[in-house]
Each structure stands twice: as structure tokens, then as C-alpha cells.
Structure 1
Amino acid sequence: MAGDTEPSNTIKVLHLLFLSTSWGMQVWVTFVAGFVMSRHLPRHTFGSIQRELFPYYFHISSTCAFLNLTLFAMSHPSERLGEEHSTQIIIFLVCIAASVLNTQCFGRATSDLVDLRLAERRHGRGPGMEPGQEPGMEPGMEPRRQLRASSPSHRRLARRFALCHALSSLCNLCCIVCNGLSLQHLAAQLAAL
């Protein structure tokens, strides 16, 4: 039975459910699905899948982070917070901040850079084009590099995409680390499996 300082079993189950769902989804999308799709799908197909999938992924991550903080805060009143609990709240806040940044800024900007793909298609670098079949390609030069070298606007779009993608990846890794630390905290509280 839950006491005054212990959250109810329902709160514990919900907290564990949201935390494990978020962390499992993040690990799967980042380290399994992302690598498999990037290695086995044409780049434009992979980009189209990401553009459709990532908004759901980012919103679910943000929602789970918010619910984790809410459930944790509800079951740990501020007047009884120790250093360990304060650290957990900071971890949840960092996770929420990184998730929201990804949802509202970097992930959206990365997905919205359709202009980059359109420019590549206009120059014959779109889906269905094998590197050896692309028209006007200099021998030994990667088609995208050749396009960036010949088009300043494409070069700017590619740089912006690379920056947004790097910041989005950093936010995603931050969330994975935060959720991993929260899981470590929960595991340390277990008396037995």
C-alpha cells in the first residue's frame, strides 16, 4: 500500500510505461530503424519516410517527457524533495526542452527542407537515379557534391539541412541520455526484479 511519501502503484506503472515507451522508441528509431533505412533505401525515399514519421516521433517523445515530469512531480511534493529527486526533475526538464526544441524547431526545419530534394530532382539527382547513371556527372565525383559545387543556392540549402539535422540529432541523443538516466534511477530503487 502506498504511504504518504510513496506514489501509488498506478502512478508507478504509468511513469514506467511512459518512460520505457519513450526510451525504447528513441533507441529503436535512432540506432536500428535509422541505420537500416539509411543503408538500404535510396536517399530520397529515406527522406520521405523521415518527413512523414518524425513529426509523430517527436510529438510522442515530447508528450512522454511531459507526462513523466508531471507524474514524478505529482508523487514528489516540493517540500520533500531531496537532491536525488531534484536531479530527476532537472533531467525531465532537460528532456522536455530537448524534445520540444526538436518538435518545434530542428526536426520541423529538417523535414521542411523539401527545397533541397526538389533542387536535386531538377538536376537529375532524384529517386531512381543510380550514381553511375546521373547525367552530366564528372567521373569519380559524387553527384550531390557536384551539384553543391555548381549551385550556391543548393550549397546553402545543404548547409542549412546539415546544421538542422545535427542539432536535431543532438537533441535526440540528449533525450536518450536523459531517459537512460531516469531508467537507471528507477532501477536503483528496485528491491528485486
Structure 2
Amino acid sequence: MQGPVPIQDTMASDTGPSNTIKLLHLLFLSTSWGMQVWVTFVAGFVMSRHLPRHTFGSIQRELFPYYFHISSTCAFLNLTLFALSHPSERLGEEHTAQIIIFFTCIAASVLNAQWFGPVTSDVVAELQQVESSQGLGQELGLAGSEPRRQLRASNPRYRELARRFALHHALSSLCNLLCIVCNGLSLHHLAAQLSAL
């Protein structure tokens, strides 16, 4: 007669992390990556085409601090969980690459949360003030780009603000894309470890 089937222990074994650790790791990684893909490739494009420019900018200024801090927190927790379940004496080349990927994601997320995001938001607020004084900002999407071009040509302060915005926005976008790529690589690593769906 066969005895009862043992319940699988969720404590870490010698061969790998516990199911709880794996679940948390997957939860943080998928939350971060899904949020990044949605904000970057869906919400941003939809809002930029259907909202007045200043409304879109105001929403982003309110949304992005949460977005960047959640990304940073998820990246930190992913690295922590991964490092706890992969002791340094057992690290292979693939595990070391994963840790580098997590560190890169943390660095890019923290740069966005602490530097590029806040600076970009401050510059956008100043740009909007100058534009509002000229009756600009309520146009949808790219409409009204000619009056802004004329304002850049005639107003040195606005031109400098626009230049600073372009630089910091580009750096913030680069960090954001780097995080998406890092999380995508981590998801690819996890998918390669699955024996079945």
C-alpha cells in the first residue's frame, strides 16, 4: 500500500530556490516589464495623440515618479531574490550575466527616478509656462509645431529650455529602453528554464 503523497516543501532546497521565491521573482519581473511596455509603447502614444499637449505633459509629470520608483523597486527586489537564491560559490557564467543585467536595470531605473525624470518634469513645467503665456499648449499631438518653432526662434529662454528638455528626455528614454531590454532578457532566461507551460 502506498503512503500519502508528500506535499512539496516551499523551503529552498540544495538544488534551487523555493516556489515562493520563484513566484515573487516572476511577479516583480513581469510587473515591471509589463508596466514598462504599457507605459512606453501604448499609453504614451495614445495619450500624445488624443490629449492636449499640456494635459499630456501634466499627466506624465504626475505619473512618471510612480513609474520610475516602481521600476527601481522591482529591479532591486529581483536582484535581491536572485542573489539570495544563487550563492556566489555556485554562480555560473549565465547567473553572473543575470546579476549584471539586474544591476544595469537598477542603475538605469535609479537614474530615471532620481535624476532624469525630475529634471525633465521641471523643464516641462517651465516650457509649459512660456507656451501658456503665448497661448500655446492646448493643441492635440504634433499640431501647432510651427508656432513653437517660431517661439524657439524668437525667445532664447524657450530655446534653451527646449534644448534641455530634448537632452534629458532622450537620456530618460534611453534608460527606460535599457530597462525594458534588461527585463526582456531576464524573462527570456526564465522562459528557457521552464520545462512546460
> Partner of 2:137: helix, strand, or coil?
coil
> Partner of 1:127: helix, strand, or coil?
coil
1:76-125 Cα offsets, whole Å, 9 max, x none, are: 00111000000000000000000000001111111111111101111121
Runs of 4+ deviating beyond 2 Å: 126-132
Q: Among residues 166, 169, 173, which one is paired with 2:170 in the alignment?
A: 166
Partners of 1:53 and 1:103 in 2: how far apart? Answer: 12
Query: Which residue of the partner structure matches residue 131 of structure 2?
Result: 120
Q: Among residues 44, 48, 61, which one is paired with 1:51 in the alignment?
A: 61
Query: Which residue of the partner structure matches residue 160 of structure 2?
Result: 156
Give the CA deviation at 1:3: 2.0
Query: Which residue of the partner structure matches residue 94 of structure 1?
Result: 104
> What is the one-letter code of the residue matched to 2:66?
Y
Partners of 2:170 and 2:195 in 1: how far apart? Answer: 40
TM-score by length of 1: 0.92
* 2:189 is equivalent to residue 185 of structure 1: yes
* 2:24 is equivalent to residue 20 of structure 1: no
Partners of 1:5 and 1:102 in 2: how far apart? Answer: 37
* Cα contact 1:131–1:143 (8 A) shared by 2: no
Deviates more, 1:178-187 or 1:39-48: 39-48
Give the CA deviation at 1:129: 9.2
* Cα contact 2:68–2:113 (8 A) shared by 1: yes
Task: Report the aligned-residue RMSD.
Answer: 1.8
* Structure 2: segments with no counterpart, 5+ residues: 1-8
* Cα contact 1:11–1:71 (8 A) shared by 2: yes
Give the CA deviation at 1:5: 3.0
| Count of residues paired in the alignment | 186
1:8-55 Cα offsets, whole Å, 9 max, x none, are: 000000000000000000000000000000111111110000000000
Q: Among residues 71, 79, 92, which one is paired with 2:81 in the alignment?
A: 71
TM-score by length of 2: 0.90
Partners of 1:11 and 1:90 in 2: how far apart? Answer: 20
* Structure 1: segments with no counterpart, 5+ residues: 135-140
> What is the one-letter code of the residue matched to 1:115?
E
Give the CA deviation at 1:126: 3.1
* Cα contact 1:5–1:76 (8 A) shared by 2: no
Cα gap change, 1:107 to 1:128, in 2 (>3 Å): same
Query: Which residue of the partner structure matches residue 47 of structure 2?
Result: 37
